[in-house]
Structure 1
C-alpha cells in the first residue's frame, strides 16, 4: 500500500481559555478501556464513567433474563436489584450528570455471525450499537468509545488470571517490568552502556553453540521449558500454547525458555524445517505480552474508577503510545503467515477487514514455482512484494486489520515499508519532520528471515532500529500520569526485547546486535556447528568421471577497510591475467561475485581496460533487465562470451539455471551456503537432455572450482568448509592455497 499513511491517535492537550461567555473548562485526558478518552473535567468524567458502567451492567442482567427482547436502558431505568449498579451509583451520590446518557442495545447471539471464524466486513455491526443509528454510521470516535466500554466491563473479567502474589513474582513479565529494583536497574544500565558483560559459552549435544551476555544483576536464564506452565501464559492462550510448546524439539524448548524470560535472542539456526515452529513461538510470546499489558491497564482502570476524587494512586502501566510489538518480515506473504499464526493462537470470534487483508497481501503460487528450490519457494512464494506495513488491533473478541498505527497493538512491516512511513514527512512537505513516534513504546521486536532482509537493503533495517524507543515529538493524547518512569527517563531501550531469526549470521546482523540491543536481561547468540557445504557436492550428478577439486586461495589483507582493494588486485594479477593471455581458448567461465560494489568494479574494469579487450564477457545482476539477461545467457552458452559475471543477489532473487558452465571462479565465497551447491550443480550442463540425463558440454571433461577468501570472510567461509576446517584456512602458515577433493 504505497499510499498508506498512519492516522494519528488522540488529540494534543488543550489549554484552558476564556471568551465572552466566560472561561471554558480545561480538558483532561485519561485512559478508558484500551484507548485515550477526552472529558471536560474530572467531575463530569467520573460521572459519565460510573453511569456508563451502571448502564451496561443493567443491560447485561436484563439480557440474560430474556435474550429475545432488546432492552434500552437509561440511568433512571436501571433495575433496583442490580447491586453492582447501586454500588457504583452510591460512590457518586450527590453529583449531577453533565450530559444525558447515551442509549445502547445489546445485540443478541442469534444476530451475530453463525460462522465466528469468517471475516467481518465493513457492513457488519459491532457487538454494541447505538439505539438511534447503525454503528458504522457513527463517528469513529464514538464507535471506539463503545468498544472501550465493552472492554472495561468484561475484558479483565474474562481474562482474569491468578492474583496470587507468589505466582506473580515468578512471572517473567512481572520480573522484567515491575519487580526489578530501581537501583539494580540503574546498575545494570551502567554495565550495558560500558559493555561490561559477563560472557559464557557452551555447546549442546546437537551441536548448537551458544554465547550468553548478561549483567550481574540479571543473569541470563538458559533453562528450557518443560511445559506450558513454565511460560506463565494468559489463560486464553494456554490451550494453543500447550500445543506449540509440546511440538518443539529440545533445542527449541531451550530457545522458548529464553523467549519467555525476555532475553534478547540472535538465532542463526533458522531453516525451512523449523521456521513455522519458531514463528508460532514468537507469536505466542507476542500475544502473551500484549494481553498481559492490556489486562494490567484494564485492572488499573477499574481501580481508579472505584476510588473517590480525593484518593490518588500512582499507577504506571503504559508507554507513550499504544503499539507494543513490532514484527519485521521480508515479504507480504511472510506477513500473512505471521497473521495466520496469530489468529490460530488467539482464536478471535471476529476478524474485521480480513477479506481485504487476504486480497491485498496473499497470492497463490503458479505451476512454475514447483521447479524452484524449497527455500526459494518459502521466501518468494505467494505475494513477494517488499513494500508494506499494517497495524493489528486487539479487543476482547476481535482482531482488526489495517488499524491506524497509533491505535494498534502489533505493527507488521518490511524495512522498506517502515522507512516510507517514518520518512513520509520529508517528502513533499519539507517542513514536516519524520514521524517515528509510533515506535516510541515498542517493547518487543521480532525480526524473521534476517538474511533475506540483508539481500534487500540492510540500511533500512538499521535505520528502523535507530528510531526505536526515542522520546516522542508529539503527545498523541498520552496520559503522562500513567506512563512508566523508565519511559519518561528515556531508558525504554534497556527493557526492550529483540528476537532475530536468521538462516545464518553475518557481520551486519552481529553489528546490529552490538549497536542497538541494550536489554538488561541479557543477550544470547545461537549458532549451529557447520559440517561444510563443500561436502554436499559429492551427491551431485556431475557429468565427470571423477570428483571435482575445490581450491581455496587466501588473499593477504591487513584490515577490513583495504580488503576490497586487496581482493581486486589479487584477482586481476593472479586469476584474470592468465585468462586474458589465453582468451582464444577460454569458454564457459562463470564468475560469481558476492557484492554489487565488486560486481560493478569488475564490469567497469573489463569494459574499459585495454588489457582485457581480448576477453569477451557478459554480466547478470539483480538490476539487469530480463531481455539483457536472456541475451547474456544465450551468448555465454554459444561461446560468444567466454566469461559471465553473476552477482549473488541475482541468484538470490531469481535462481537462474545457467547452462554451458565449465569453470567456476568465486570472487568471494557466498553468504548463503546453499548457493555453493546450487552453483556447482550448474557445472558442465548443456542445453539438451536425452533419456532424462543432462549431457556434459563438449570439451568439458574436467571442471574447475576456485574460490578467493580473506580472513575477514571467516563467518561465511565456515559455512562452506565446515567449522572444524575453517581455523586451518584462516591461520595456516604453510601456504595460501588449499585443495579439497
Structure 2
C-alpha cells in the first residue's frame, strides 16, 4: 500500500514513524551508482583521489540509495529484492568491512526550525519540479532506512518482561487504558469530579494533590532509576540526575514520571539546574519509548505473513514533547542537559546552534542581581523556535517541525509560527498548528519570566494544543491511537510548569487547559516573608533600620472591579494629601505592577486639574533611553517630585534610582525579590542633597503598600505565610504596620 504524503513547497511536511517503505526508484539508483563510480575513477586517475577514498564513495552511494526510497503512484508494483541486491553488489565491489556511515543532505530551509516549505536543489537536475521531487525522496527515505536499522536493536534492547511493562507508567498511561475506562475518566474530568488532599514535605513545602474520585491521591517518591523505568540507553545519565535530587525533588520526580500534571512553585536559583535535568530526562525517556514502540511494531508487521494485526502506537504527527522557555540562552541550557543525559555519538548542526543561541554574558551586567544574570545572561532574545530530531546515535538540530521529536520555543516564537502558517512562501496558508496536534508532554520552565513577557502568548499556545489536524501530513491512520482519533488527546497530555512563584494567571491556565486524567499536583513553599529581609539592608542615614512598613487594605468587592477600587482609593486617600503639600514633597517613588494601571495613573497626573501642582516623571519598559536618563536626572535634582516606575521596567533593567525618599506601592510586586530591591533604593545619592541627612524622611509612611483580598498570593510572599491570613481577614482595621 502506498503511503499518502502531503507536499508543501516540494517537501513533505512530515510523516508518521510507522509508514511503510515505498518502492525503490531503481533507474535513479543505477544512474547514481554509475556517476559515483565514474567520479571515483576519475579522481584516482587525476591524483585527486585515492584507493582509501573508495569506501567513502561506497558510503555516499549507500546513503544516496537509502534516501532514494519514495512512494510512487498506487498502480506501481514495488521490486522486493532490488535494494538488498544493490547493497550486496556495492559491498562486494568496494570491499567495505565496516558498517557505512550515512551522509545526510541538508537544506537551507531547515535553518529556521519551522515547518519546512522549500528545499535546496541540485544544479544538474533539469527543472525545479524534478529538483523538489528528488529532495523529497531523499529526505523521506532517511527515516525509513534508520527505522529498519534500529528496529532489530530496539526489539532486543527492550525485550522486558510483560509484568514489568504493565507496571511502566508510560504503558499504563498510554497503552493499557481501555476505551471504556478512558471514556469514564473523561466524563469525571469534564464534570470536575475531583478529590483534593494536602500534605507537608520537608522544608515546609506544601503539596496539594487533585485526583479523580476513586483514584489514589498519594504518589510515592522516586528513590532510584529503577523506579523511573528508564530506557537502557538513559541508564547512566539518568542515574546521575536522580542521585542529585533532594527529598522533596524526589517526590516531584515521582509525580513527573507517573505522568501527573505538575505546578511547581518551588523553583529557584539553587535547584534550577537539577529541575531542568529532571524534565529533560523525562522528555528523553518518553521520546525514546515512543519511538522504540513504533519500531518494534514495524518489526512485527514486517514479520507477519498473514493479515497484519491492529497496532495503535502513534499520533497524527511526529513531535511529542514541547518545551517552552523564555530566552534563547535558556533554550541552549535545555539542549545542554539533553545532550549531557543522552550522550549521542553525533550532533548535527551543533556548531550553528551554539552560534545562533548562545552568547557570553555582558560585562556591564556583572553588578546586576544574580537572578537577573541567570535570566538575561547570554542571548536573551525572546523570539525563537527550534526542532530536535533523535535517531539511535544522533541528534539533529534545526529539523523541520513535522520531522522533529522535541520542539523548544518561546511563546512569542511559537505563536508567530502558528499564526503565519510557518512563515513559508505559501501566502494563502495563514494558520498552521498541526505540528502541535500530537504533543503528549508540555514543559514550561521559568514561567514567572514568561509572565513578564506576554502571558497571552502562553495561553494562545495552549489553546492550539492537541487539535485535530487540518492536513494528513503523511499520517498512517491505521496506526493512530484511538484517543487521538476521538479528539481526546488533551486528556492524556501531561503538563509540567516550573516557576519561582505561582500567580493567578498560572492557576487560571491550569484550570482552563489542564485536563489530565491522572490528576494534578501543586507544590508551594512556606514563605517567611520578604519584608523580613529589609532589616538587614545597609541603608544610608537617615534610613537606618528598623523601617516602618505600612500595608493599607483596599475594600474591593470582586476581582473585576479591583482596578477601579484601587484607583479611587489611591487618588482620594494617598495622592490628594501629596498634592495639597506639593511644595514640600520630593523623592516619591510610585511603584506600579501592571502597565494598564501605569498608563491610567500617568494619564491622570497629566490631564487632571487636581494634579497640576505636582510634577512627575515616568519609567516603563517602553520608555526610550533618552527619556529614562532625563526622568532619572530630574527626579534626583528635585525637578520631579514623583516618579512612576513599572514592575516590568524593574524586571528588565533593574535601575538603581537615586534620590528616593518615600516609596508608595500602588500594588504589591509579583516577584518578592523586588520588595527588598526597591526599598534598598532609599537614600541613594541623598547625602549630596542639603537636607537629606536631617531625618525628615524617617517617619511613618516612608513605605506604604496598597493591597486587596485578591492579592493574597502576592501578599503571602511579602508578609509571610503565617501573617497573610490576618491581613486578609482581620476586621479590626485596614492598616497594618510592621517595624
Q: Place the TM-score, normalised by the shorter chain, in its bin.
A: 0.7 to 0.9
Could you say which residue in structure 2 is the equivalent of 1:154? 150
Matches within 5 A, 1:450-461: 450-461=447-458
Partner of 2:527: 530
- Aligned partners of 1:335 and 1:154: how far apart in 2? 29
Q: How far is 1:181 from its partner?
A: 2.7
**1:612 to 2:608 alignment:** no
Q: Of 278, 282, 291, which aligns to 1:281?
A: 278
Structure 2 CA distance for aligned equivalents of residues 475 and 486 of structure 1:
17
1:216 Cα offset (Å)? 3.3
Aligned to 1:740: 738
1:338 corresponds to: 334
Following superposition, the deviation at residue 684 of structure 1 comes to 1.2
> How many residue pairs were aligned?
654
Residues 1:476 and 2:459 are matched in the alignment? no
Shift in CA distance, 728/109, structure 1 to aligned 2, threshold 3 Å:
farther
2:366 is aligned, of 365, 370, 379, to 370
Partner of 2:5: 11
Deviations 1:551-608 (A, max 9, x none): 0000001011111011000000100001001100100000000000000000000000
Q: Which residue does 1:197 correspond to in 2? A: 194
Q: What's the CA shift for 1:623?
A: 0.4
Q: Which residue of 2 aligns with 1:557?
A: 556
Native 8 Å contact 1:390 1:411 kept in 2: yes
2:319–2:436 contact (8 Å) kept in structure 1: yes
Provide the C-alpha distance between the structure 2 equivalents of 1:724 and 1:120, rounded to a whole number of angstroms.
Answer: 62
Q: 1 CA distance for matches of 2:105 and 2:686? A: 53
Report if the CA contact (8 A) 2:716-2:724 is conserved. yes
Whether the 8 Å CA contact 1:583–1:614 is kept in 2: the answer is yes
CA distance in 1, matches of 2:331, 2:473: 27
More deviation in 213-222 or 336-345?
213-222
Partner of 1:89: none
Residue 244 of structure 2 aligns with which residue? Answer: 247
> Is the CA contact 2:593–2:646 (under 8 Å) kept in the aligned structure 1?
yes
* Shift in Å, 1:433: 4.2
Asked if the contact 1:686–1:697 (Cα under 8 Å) also holds between the matched residues in 2, the reply is no
Structure 1: segments with no counterpart, 5+ residues: 1-8, 15-28, 46-66, 75-93, 114-118, 124-132, 690-694
Give, in angstroms, the shift of residue 245 of structure 1: 0.5
Q: Indicate conservation of the 8 Å contact 1:228/1:238, yes or no.
A: yes
Question: C-alpha separation between the residues in 2 aligned to 1:436 and 1:38?
Answer: 27
Equivalent position SS for 1:211:
strand
Counterpart-to-counterpart distance in 2, 1:552 and 1:30: 57
Q: CA deviation at 1:219?
A: 3.2
Structure 2 counterpart of 1:39, from 8, 16, 22: 22
Q: Kindly indicate whether the alpha-carbon contact (under 8 Å) linking 1:259 and 1:265 is maintained by their aligned counterparts in 2.
A: yes
1:714 is aligned, of 707, 712, 734, to 712
- Name the Cα RMSD after superposition: 3.2
Question: Matches of 1:325 and 1:154 in 2, distance apart?
Answer: 21
Offset, 1:112: 7.4
Give matches, 1:405-554, under 5 Å: 405-425=401-421, 431-543=428-540, 544-554=543-553
CA 243–97 in structure 1, closer or farther in 2 if over 3 Å, else same: closer
- Consecutive unaligned residues of structure 2, counting only runs of 5 or more, are 26-51, 60-76, 109-123, 125-132
Distance 1:545 1:263, change over 3 A: closer
CA shift digits 1:653-697 (9 cap, x unpaired): 1000001100000000100000001000101111779xxxxx966
What is the TM-score of this pair, normalised by structure 1?
0.83
SS at match of 2:453: coil
Q: Partners in 2 of 1:244 and 1:355 — Cα distance?
A: 26
Aligned 8 A contact 1:553 1:736 in 2: yes
Q: Deviations over 1:518-553 (max 9, x none)?
A: 000110011100000000101100123441100000
Q: How does 1:229-248 map to 2 (within 5 A)?
A: 229-248=226-245
The residue that corresponds to 1:91 in the other structure is none
1:727, distance to aligned residue in structure 2 (A): 0.5
1:615-694 to 2 correspondences below 5 Å? 615-686=614-685
Tell me by how many angstroms 1:217 deviates.
Answer: 5.4
In structure 2, the CA distance between the partners of 1:162 and 1:217, relative to structure 1 (3 Å rule), is: farther
The change in CA–CA distance for 1:151 and 1:696 in structure 2 (over 3 A counts) is: farther
Structure 1 residue 205: deviation in Å?
Answer: 3.2
d(CA) in 2 for partners of 1:636, 1:613: 17
Change (3 A) 1:688 1:141: farther
| Residue 165 (structure 2) pairs with residue 168 (structure 1) | yes
Deviations 1:196-231 (A, max 9, x none): 111111112321111111113543452101111100
Q: CA deviation at 1:183?
A: 2.0
Aligned to 2:377: 381
Say whether the 8 Å CA contact 1:169–1:179 is kept in structure 2.
Answer: yes
Whether the aligned pair in 1 keeps the contact of 2:15 and 2:403 (CA below 8 Å) is no
TM-score of the aligned structures, taking structure 2 as reference length: 0.83
Q: Give the drift of 1:154.
A: 3.3
Could you tell me how far 1:30 is from its partner in structure 2? 12
**Counterparts of 2:96 and 2:673 in 1: how far apart (Å)?**
56
Contact 2:151 2:296 in 1 (8 A): no
Distance 1:500 1:281 in 2: 13
How much has 1:162 moved relative to structure 2?
3.9
CA 1:403/1:496 → structure 2, altered by over 3 Å: closer, same or farther?
same
Query: 2: distance between equivalents of 1:696 and 1:732?
Result: 37
- Does the C-alpha gap of structure 1 residues 431 and 623 become closer, same or farther in structure 2, counting only changes over 3 Å? same
How much does 1:160 deviate? 1.2
Q: CA deviation at 1:335?
A: 0.2
Shift of 1:146: 4.0
> Judging changes above 3 Å, is the alpha-carbon distance between structure 1 residues 156 and 708 closer, same or farther for their aligned structure 2 residues?
farther
Change (3 A) 1:146 1:512: closer
